[in-house]
Each structure stands twice: as C-alpha cells, then as structure tokens.
Amino acid sequence: MKTWEVMKEMYESTWLFCLKRVITLPFVLLGVSIMTFLFIRFVPVEPAEVILRMSGVAPTAEAIQALRSELGTDQPLSIQYFIWLKGVLHFDFGSSFVSKLPVAQEIVEKLPATFELALAAFVCMICFSIPLGIISALYKNSIFDRIVGLLSIISVSIPTFWLGFFLLYLFSLKLGIFPTNGKGTILHMILPAVSLALPTTGLFVQAIRTSVIEELQKKYVQYAFLRGLKKSVILSRHVFKNAAIPLTTMLGMTLGNLLGGAVIVEQVFSWPGLGRYLIESIMNRDYPVVQCYVLIIAIIYVFANLCTDILHRVLDPQLMIVRRRE
Amino acid sequence: MIFFKKILPFILILMLTIVAGCSSSGESNGSKTSNEGKVITVGWPLDIGPLNPHTYLPNQMTAQAMVYESLVEYNDDGTISPKLAKSWEISDDKTAYLFHLRQDVKYSDGTAFNADNVIRNFNAVLADRDTHSWMGMVNHIVDVVKEDDYTIRLQLDAPYYPVLNELAFVRPFRFLGDNGFPEGDTTNKGINAPVGTGPWVLTEYKKDQYAIFSRNEHYWGEKPLVDKVKVKIIPDSESISLAFENEELDIIYGRGIISLDNYTFLKDSDQYKTAVSEPLSTRALLFNTQSGALAELKVRQAIQYAVNKEQMVESITHGTEKVANKLFWDAIPYADIELKPILFNPKKAEQLLDEAGWTLKNGDKIRSKNGQPLQLDLIYIATDAIQKPMAELMQGELAKIGVQLNLEGADVMVGLQKLMDNQVDINFWRTNGPPTDPHSFANESATPNANGVYEAKLGLDNAAQIDGKIHQLLIGTDEAERVQLYKDILTMFHDQALFYPISYETNNVIYHKHMKDFNPCASEYDIPYAQMDLK
C-alpha cells in the first residue's frame, strides 16, 4: 500500500473514532445528569427550608410552601427532571434558587476566573515537571533524582488546603511577597496556581521520569548511540518524542483534576471562581447550580479525554496501524 | 543538548522574571489614609448580595444595615428609640400605630423620604406576605395609611405587642428610595439600585471580590468618621485571619467570623486591640423530650449537673463567651428573672439517675434500665470549631456518670431537621438574639417546624399549657400580665430542663492599633462603622 493511502486511511480512521466518541457523548451526559439530579436530592433538608433558615428566619409552613411552589420543588421528581432537561436542551439551565439569576449567566461570569487559575496551574505544572522529570531520568539514582523523588511524594501527599495555607503563611505573612486573597494582578495568581499545580506536578515528574527511562532502555536508542548519533539529537528527536506519547492521556485528565481541585484552592485564596460558587450552592441546596456545574465539568472531562485520545493517535500512528491489520 | 542549551535557560529566566516582578510590585496593603481619604477595610465571608432591603439570601444583613434604615431602633439594653420615625403613638386598643416621620431625611440620591415612599415600601413588602410570614406582625397588618406627608398609620387586626421590635429588624421593613423601585414595585424580584437613607452608599462593587461603601453626604444623622469602608469577600475564616495579620484588613468583626482559637492567638500576640460586645445570643443544647430516656426530667437534669460547664466554656471559647445559666441574657426584654442555676455536681447527677432507675449493674460502664442501656445521640455541626470540642468534652463527662453519648457531625441544617423528625436525642441550638427575642422565641416554640422547640417539648406534660401561655402573651395588651407570662414560660422551660444553656455568644472584634477605640454592638447585623476612625 502506498504511503498516501496509509495516510488517508489513518485520517479517515481518526474521524471515525471522533465520530463514535461524539455519538456516545449525549448518553454519557444524560447519565451524568440523572445521577447528579438524584444525588443532590439525597442531601437531607429541602431547598425551601434551607434557604429560609439560612436567611436567619424560622420558616412558617406558608413560607415554605410558597417558596417550594416558586422553586418548583413541590412537583414530582420525574416532572422536575423533565422540565430541567427540556430547559437544558434549549440551553436554559434554570435560575439559581438563591440569587434568582439564570444559572448559565452566573456560571459564564465565574468560569473564566476558574479557567484562568486552572490554566496558570497547568503552565506551572508543565514548567516544573518537564525539566525535573527529564533531569531525574537522565541522572537516575543521583542525589538530585532522589531529592526530586522525595519532593514528588510530599507534593502528592499534602492536602491542597494545607499547602495553600502554608504558602500563604510563608510567602505572604513572613516574606510579604504576595497578597493573601483576591484577584487582579499576577501576584494574586501565583500562590493559588502553585497550590493547585503542585500535587499534579509531583505525579507528572515521576511519570515523565519513568517514561524517559523506559525509552532510554529501548534497543533503538542503543542502536542510535552505536551509529554515533549525538546524544542531544537522540534525546530531542527520538526519546522525548516517544516518551511523551503515554503522557498525553494523563495530560487530559490533569485539566479535569485542576478544575476539580480549584474548589478548595478558590476557597483558601478567596478566588472568585466556580469552586466557591459550588460550595455555597451545595450548602444552600441550590439544585440548578449544582446540576449545571456537574454537567459542565462532565463535558470538559469528556472533551479533554477525547482530545487526548486524538492526540495520542496522532502521535502514535501504531495505534491505527494495529487496528487496520486487525 | 537542546534542552540544556535553550529550553532550560528560558524556563529559568521566565521564573526569575516572575519572582523579580513579584517582589517589586506589591499591592498597597491595608487601608490607612490615602488619596481616597480614610478607608477602613474589613473581611466578610460572603458576597454582600444585591442589597435589596426587602429580601433575604443572598443579601447580607450587615450590608443591608449600612445602606437602609428602619423606623425605630433597638438598643443594646432592650429599649426602642426613634430612627426614621421621630416619635410614635399607640392607640388604646393597641391596634393602630401612628408614626411621625423625620422631615430632614433624604435618600442617598437626594430624593425625599416621606409618607408616600414609606407606604410604597410597606406595600411592596406586604405583596409577598407568605415569604415574610415568619414575622408575626406581617400576619396582623391590615393597612398602612397616609395621615399627612410625614405621618403614617399602621393598622393591625388585633393587638400584637412586638411591632416596634419587628420594625427595628434589619429586613424586610427598611426603606428603598423611589428610584430604586423596579417596574410594578416588585422588589421581591429585584431592585433597580440600592438607594437608602443610611450612612453609607455603595460606590464600587465587584461581585465575590469586594464592595466599597462611601459616606452618604445626604445623611441626616451624625456622619461617619471615615470616608469609605471596603468589605473584602474572604470565604475562609483562616484566610481572614491571615489577611488581617498581613495588614490587608483593619478589623475583624462579628460572631464566628474567625475561629476562637485564632481570635485568642491574635489577642495574645499583644500586637492588636480587641473588644467583645455584650451577649447577643445563647448557645445551648436542646433535649428531645419525646425520645427514650430524655422523656424523664431527672435524666435531663442529671446531664446538666454532670458537665463542668465553667471549665468547658473557658477552655473551648478561651473566655470570649460568658457562661450561661439561663436561656436568655438579662438585657433581653422580659428575661431578667431569678432562676435557680444548675451548677456542676456529678454526685447529684448520679443520684438523680439512680432515682430514675438508671443504675450501674456489676462491672458495667453504662447505666441501664429494664435492660436498655443509657445511650443518647448528639448531633453537632461538623464544621463548627466550637460545637465539636464541646460535644467531645461532654461525651467524656457523661461517660463518668455512666451515660454513653454518641456523637454525629452533620451539615448545618441536618441536626435540627432530625430533631424535629424525632430521629435524634440532643441537638445544639441557639437563640435568635435581639431585636426579635424573646417574642420570636416564644412564637416559634409554639409553632411546628420552626426552631425545633415545639417538637422537642412534645414529651412534656405541660407542653400544651406552655403553648397556651405563649399564645396569650403575643396578643395580650396588659404589660404587667405579659411580664408575668414571660416569667411563667421561661420558668417552666427552666424547671423542665428542656434546654441546657451553655454560653452567651458575643461579637468578637479585633483591630489594628492604627484604629481608634469604639464600642461594638450586641447585634448580629449592625456593625458600628460610623463610629470607627483611624488615628
């Protein structure tokens, strides 16, 4: 088979793969929506009562009934779900029980802040993990490698909120470099981004190290050395490229993890993003907000996975060739 | 190697640039006096909300109280004084209240405050009676009538004595300027702008980040001493403490804004000034008298005798809360009565349990009666830094007299709901505080699904008698009779040991030394920003 035919087949195969994944997407989201809808309702005490009590008043039966009817929580569960689903299909995610504003509007207002934080953390993670992982692999079992290994374990083990407060204490209170809270300048962003990035950085450093070490032990590398190729050429053109392939899947999951981890980091650093909004909404039993949030996170996860799978296939043509042979 | 030659130096330079940038461009901390005048910065855990005077969540009461005012004001000593109404008269049958409004009041946008505007506000609130039905007065208002441009008459269908106290509350009877009203006056759906008569005007607002209130130059009363108050939204209490230590905040003010551990730590550092308000509410345990062993008075009393309350309150609240031996602090209206306190006496506790038939069999550590062990469930709010150690300490104290206390941490709403559903024995409970206590306490205690007291007292023999007295006192017109009724009700609750009063909660205040001293208020929502000043 000629090269262009192989290329064409690979191209068609990737599209078919994407199409299959996109077709399954609505079913995944439907499942997520049903589970979220039910699980949030398992939380004791219904929204009308919570909202009234959180307002500092002892609710009367009339007040609870009036609010239930206004919120629509007096309807049977199935009706509530279908009303919500119908709205979602028309891109109407309902209104917040507390603020009365459209949920989509509130989430769109807060999403950029969370993305900004997650992106900054992602950049942090890449900046730290790639050099550390590669150097650790190249100088395997050296003191540097051992120190990095120890730090990786520590960074993965430390709870995010503890790390956040530690960084605040050290860099804000003692060294006076960064503000303790808020958003606005790059200074406000560094500590939250580092707190969010560190646990994943530890994982990534070790993953990169392992992957590079595995590649270095492969025969084609030894052959390349025997051919007299420069070490820098072998590493940059072959080893790093091939070592990156298994990491792409992990990279996709990382973005989702960063968005999830932002819930705690936003709380500690008073970052005005979606995470804080979610915590308040869970406390207030603000069903539409929680449902919309989970749906959005699910979509992001699914798309991030899809993108990494595609990237994986593009970087590693063997995946498609194997399938063609089968 | 390309990596070492090109990529690594680039990354290092990038990181150094960021760090260098960080150390050279710090945000101006704190407040002090600047080009913007005197600014005080305070931390608050929740966004101030839309500043609608007629609605509840997500509006923060502390912010509403800065912008909007009431007809009358509640004082820390339990008395009522004039505010937007300079005086008032009450009809002989106690069903009509004539309010004479101040004529020198203007809204922050310069528009007039008068009878028409007051009635417009009342009507907007009363259009949504169900929502406000928790406030007894709302169910009695028949009409609000304009007598002249600066006089209104509030007509009730029956006497309801706490009208003035309820009018003093932070919401919903506070007044929005005409320009703040939406079309159709549906303020329950939203307002056009937060226009009030209060000492502060909202001038800058970034949702979930901060709100800046400036002095209202049209204010009729004594003008605030500083030019601006900046409220920074910091959801985590530890982060509020750190921001304060880092001089990004001038003051921390309120109940539970930071943990008492942090408060004590900051206080003990001697770098800051502290103040504590008069008590505002009572922290207590509420016993479910429908539930097993707690149906017996002697068991409820024994639990109270068994716990060394003085030591518990001192060690856990670090002396910031006062020990409570009565359900209400003396300054609460009608609550200054003589009641015999139940003081720590473990021997007496054991004696009471023995008398009730709950005895220790040979070798047992838990008392039992008719084969049933004396086990009780207590729910505390899992995230509450005070309730959990108190619950654990009581668990230890009760174990010494042979009572097993099972603890369960739960969400803030769950404990009360479980108690009302008769699924738990004991729950932490607190009074509302001024200005609605003690009448709101009485009203709720006789109403199902309100504050849990109605359900908790169903096991008492005299529950119906207590409810009868409560109904009588809310509609009675004779002051002496009311005093007696309150005395009877509070004494019955005390004698029946339905509550275990633990401590009186206060507003804890900590501020930097660059601020002048001021007196904190015994109110959940009135923060005296107008009295605060910088040196």
Quote the pLDDT of residue B101. 95
A62 contacts B234? CB cut-off 8 A: no
A270 contacts B236? CB cut-off 8 A: yes
Average the pLDDT over each of A6-10, B8-12, B53-57, B303-307 and give the range with the smallest value. B8-12
Residue A2 has pLDDT above 90, yes or no: no
- The mean pLDDT of B164-187, rounded to a whole number, is 92
Q: Round the average pLDDT of chain A to a whole number and report it.
A: 83
Q: Which of A62, A131, A173 sits opposite B242 (nearest CB)?
A: A173
Confidence of residue A20 (pLDDT cuts 50, 70, 90): confident
- Rounded to two decimals, the pTM is 0.84
- For residue B530, what is the DSSP state? G
Between B9 and B52, the more confident residue is: B52
Quote the pLDDT of residue B126. 93
Average the pLDDT over each of A63-72, A227-236, B62-71, B381-390 and give the range with the smallest value. A227-236
Q: Reduced to 3 states, what is the DSSP secondary structure of residue B409?
A: strand
- In 3D space, the residue among B337, B281, B284 whose CA is nearest the CA of residue B497 turns out to be B284
The CA distance from B53 to the nearest CA of chain A, in Å, is 13
Q: Rounded distance, CA B306 to CA B446, Å? A: 29
- The mean pLDDT of B239-255, rounded to a whole number, is 91
Quote the pLDDT of residue B173. 94
Please name the residue that has the structure tokens 């009641």: B339
B448 contacts A52? CB cut-off 8 A: no
Between B87 and A231, the more confident residue is: B87
Using the Cα atoms of residue B421, residue B426, residue B432 and residue B436 in order, give the sign of their dihedral.
Answer: positive
B252 contact residues in A (CB cutoff 8 A): none
Element at B145 (helix H, strand E)? strand B141-148
B111-153: pLDDT as tens digits = 999 999 999 999 999 998 888 888 888 989 999 999 999 999 9
- The mean pLDDT of A235-254, rounded to a whole number, is 77
- The mean pLDDT of B321-330, rounded to a whole number, is 91
Average the pLDDT over each of A48-57, B79-88, B401-410 and give the range with the smallest value. A48-57
Report residue B444 as tokens.
């709720």
Residue to substitute from B171, B208, B230, interface A, most A β-carbons within 10 A: B208
Quote the pLDDT of residue B148. 92
Confidence of residue A99 (pLDDT cuts 50, 70, 90): confident
Q: Round the average pLDDT of chain B to a whole number and report it.
A: 87
Q: Which of B3, B22, B242 sits opposite A168 (nearest CB)?
A: B242
B451 contact residues in A (CB cutoff 8 A): 58
Q: Rounded distance, CA A59 to CA A48, Å? A: 9
Going by their DSSP bridges, the two strands B273-276 and B72-74 should be labelled as: unpaired
Cβ-based contacts under 8 A for chains A and B: 160
B474-516: pLDDT as tens digits = 878 888 898 999 999 999 999 999 999 999 998 889 999 999 9
Q: Reduced to 3 states, what is the DSSP secondary structure of residue B274?
A: strand
Between B190 and A228, the more confident residue is: B190
Report residue B102 as tokens.
């101040």
A127 contact residues in B (CB cutoff 8 A): 11, 14-15
Residue of A nearest to B452 (CA): A58
Quote the pLDDT of residue A12. 66
B61-103: pLDDT as tens digits = 999 999 999 999 988 888 899 999 999 999 988 899 999 999 9
DSSP string computed for B430-487: E---TTTTTHHHHHHHTSTTSSSHHHHGGGSTTHHHHHHHHHHHHH---HHHHHHHHH
Quote the pLDDT of residue B320. 84
Q: Rounded distance, CA B82 to CA A90, Å? A: 53
Are the CB atoms for B244 and B234 separated by under 8 Å? no
Quote the pLDDT of residue B91. 92
Average the pLDDT over each of A217-226, A313-322, B123-132, B208-217 and give the range with the smallest value. A313-322
A159-178: pLDDT as tens digits = 888 999 999 999 988 888 88
A53 contacts B413? CB cut-off 8 A: yes
Q: Rounded distance, CA B246 to CA B30, Å? A: 8
B524 contacts A131? CB cut-off 8 A: no
Element at A200 (helix H, strand E)? helix A186-216
Confidence of residue A319 (pLDDT cuts 50, 70, 90): low
Q: Rounded distance, CA B486 to CA B367, Å? A: 37
Residue B32 has pLDDT above 70, yes or no: no
Are the CB atoms for B405 and B399 separated by under 8 Å? yes
